[in-house]
Amino acid sequence: MPLIQTVNQFLSRLGPGLLYAGAAVGVSHLVQSTQAGGMFGFELIIAIIIIHLIKYPFFEFGPRYTAATGEHMLHGYQQLGVWAVWLYLLLTVATMFIVQAAITVVTAGLVTHIFGLEGLGGYDPQTISFIIGSLLLLISLVLLVSGHYRLLDRLMKIIILILTVTSVAAVTMLLFDNPGHHKTAAVFFSFGDTTHLIFLATFLGWMPAPLDLSVWHSIWSKSKNENDGQNTCMQEALFDFRVGYIGTAFLAICFLLLGALIMWGSDIPFAAGGAAFAGQLLDMYQQALGEWAYPIVAVAALTTMLSTTLTVLDGFSRSLDASLSLLFPDRSTHNTANKTYLIWLIIIITGALLIIFFFLTSMREMVKVATVISFVAAPILAVLNMKAMFSAHIPDQYRPGKLMEVWCWSSVAALSGCSIAYLLL
């Protein structure tokens, strides 16, 4: 009983940090991290650690800003000028349909593969993805509208717990029961290979997540405060964030290990699409380790993508609603905010489904476009977050110190260099 009480107390301290983890751990982890391990073995673990260190200050500023001011990060953008809010809104609109569609397709592909729905009703794969994707987004809509933050918070604690336990179990079993084959065809990462560099840039662009999630985090933090009827103190807010942030890094390494232990050097070509790759990965687990491993990996993969589908849909809708409330304050009230949140949910779902139905065959190219936008936008959003957090209206006791300022500028330089290199490549 004391152990259960300790776990309950620990989970009760967590909230927005797990929502951040639920949104971050998705295509970047399940598909890209696993591919990184499958292509280059264990070499890119150091890249995961470095990119988490580079992006850390800017993600931390989301919950830190809310704990310091009681408002979300977009208010900080507004302090810099209305142009900053418009810029954030433009970047969000430019990527939201593609990102939601890509996540939904991977999730639908997992559902199709795990439950054996291939060839359902004699439909082609694109129609099946559309049907299952529609059901997933409809379920997400009902959950978000009925429960809003409180239900999302509870669901995420369950999902992230399942994901962590199953991922650790799968890696542990592989380490102790790895068949130890296929190392003759192993490929090693080379900075002289343009293809490798482009993959690395794409991999790191969404690792652990695009920087606009820092704004979502601050909005979730503000919603938690409103639900609790009190502001979360700085210590609790940072603890919650760090658990989620470190957790995303840990899970990224777990998925990379899974890919390395199963696929590295196998000389088996990767499936072209994210959903097909996920199905291929699940099949390879079964072939390499036996049927007993399949449910573990299937639960881990499916819970990963379900949590991402839910939280990304919520994050986009909330941030759009919050942006418009700041840009047009005269038209914004509590009642209209609820309505506009619902409207944005429906708009994003409709846009994502239209992309799935008409442009599924070119999904990979659209995801590349979204990745480019996120990658190029990273240093811009990093500077906006830094300027908002170091501004004069932040109380002195909550403003980061000189060491953090040096860390920020070093990270901005690194992100800017990566963005320029990505565009050149």
In this structure, the number of other CB atoms found within 10 A of the CB of residue 362 comes to: 11
The average pLDDT across 332-341 equals 69
Helical pair 334-359 and 125-177, crossing angle rounded to 10 deg: 90
Rounded-to-integer distance, Cα 372 and Cα 386, Å: 22
Of the spans 13-27, 169-183, 201-215, 296-310, which averages the highest pLDDT? 201-215
Q: Which two tokens stand for residue 234?
A: 């700085």
What DSSP designation does 272 have?
A: S
> Does 71 score more than 90 pLDDT?
yes
The average pLDDT across 323-335 equals 78
pLDDT of amino acid 56: 96
Q: Is residue 207 part of a domain?
A: yes
The average pLDDT across 5-18 equals 64
Give the SS3 label for residue 124. Answer: coil
pLDDT of amino acid 421: 78
Burial of 239 (0-12, 13-18, 19+ CB in 10 A): middle
Domain CATH for 313: 1.20.1740.10
Q: Are 388 and 76 in contact (CB under 8 A)?
A: yes
Rounded-to-integer distance, Cα 380 and Cα 47, Å: 21
* Number of domain units in the chain: 1
Rounded-to-integer distance, Cα 294 and Cα 38, Å: 18
> Does 422 score more than 70 pLDDT?
yes
Q: Is residue 124 part of a domain?
A: yes
Q: Is residue 316 part of a domain?
A: yes
> Does 349 score more than 80 pLDDT?
yes
pLDDT of amino acid 337: 63
Domain span including residue 128: 14-424
pLDDT of amino acid 412: 96
Encoded amino acid at 128, one letter: I
Q: Which two tokens stand for residue 40?
A: 């280059």
> Does 416 score more than 80 pLDDT?
yes
Give the SS3 label for residue 180. Answer: coil
Q: What is the pLDDT of residues 87-111, one digit of tens each?
A: 999 999 988 998 899 889 888 888 8
pLDDT of amino acid 69: 93
CA distances (Å), origin 118, targets 83, 121, 284, 305, 364: 48, 9, 18, 19, 21
pLDDT of amino acid 144: 87
In this structure, the number of other CB atoms found within 10 A of the CB of residue 416 comes to: 16
Q: Is residue 9 part of a domain?
A: no
Q: Is residue 98 part of a domain?
A: yes
Q: Is residue 139 part of a domain?
A: yes
In this structure, the number of other CB atoms found within 10 A of the CB of residue 339 comes to: 11
Burial of 181 (0-12, 13-18, 19+ CB in 10 A): exposed
Rg from Cα positions in the chain? 21
Q: What is the pLDDT of residues 119-158, one digit of tens each?
A: 776 777 778 889 999 999 999 998 888 865 566 667 777 7
Q: Is residue 359 part of a domain?
A: yes
Q: What are the helix (H) ranges across 264-395?
A: 274-289, 294-327, 334-359, 363-389
Q: What is the pLDDT of residues 382-410, one digit of tens each?
A: 999 999 999 988 988 999 989 999 999 99
Q: Are 382 and 211 in contact (CB under 8 A)?
A: yes
Q: What is the pLDDT of residues 257-312, one digit of tens each?
A: 988 888 787 776 666 655 566 677 777 667 666 677 788 778 877 887 888 898 89
Helical pair 294-327 and 125-177, crossing angle rounded to 10 deg: 120
The average pLDDT across 41-68 equals 94
Q: Are 26 and 101 in contact (CB under 8 A)?
A: no
CA distances (Å), origin 403, targets 54, 224, 392, 410: 14, 30, 18, 11
Q: Is residue 4 part of a domain?
A: no
Share of the chain above pLDDT 70, in %: 85
In this structure, the number of other CB atoms found within 10 A of the CB of residue 318 comes to: 24
CB hemisphere CA count around 213 (13 angstroms): 31
* Least confident segment among 92-101, 219-228, 368-377: 368-377
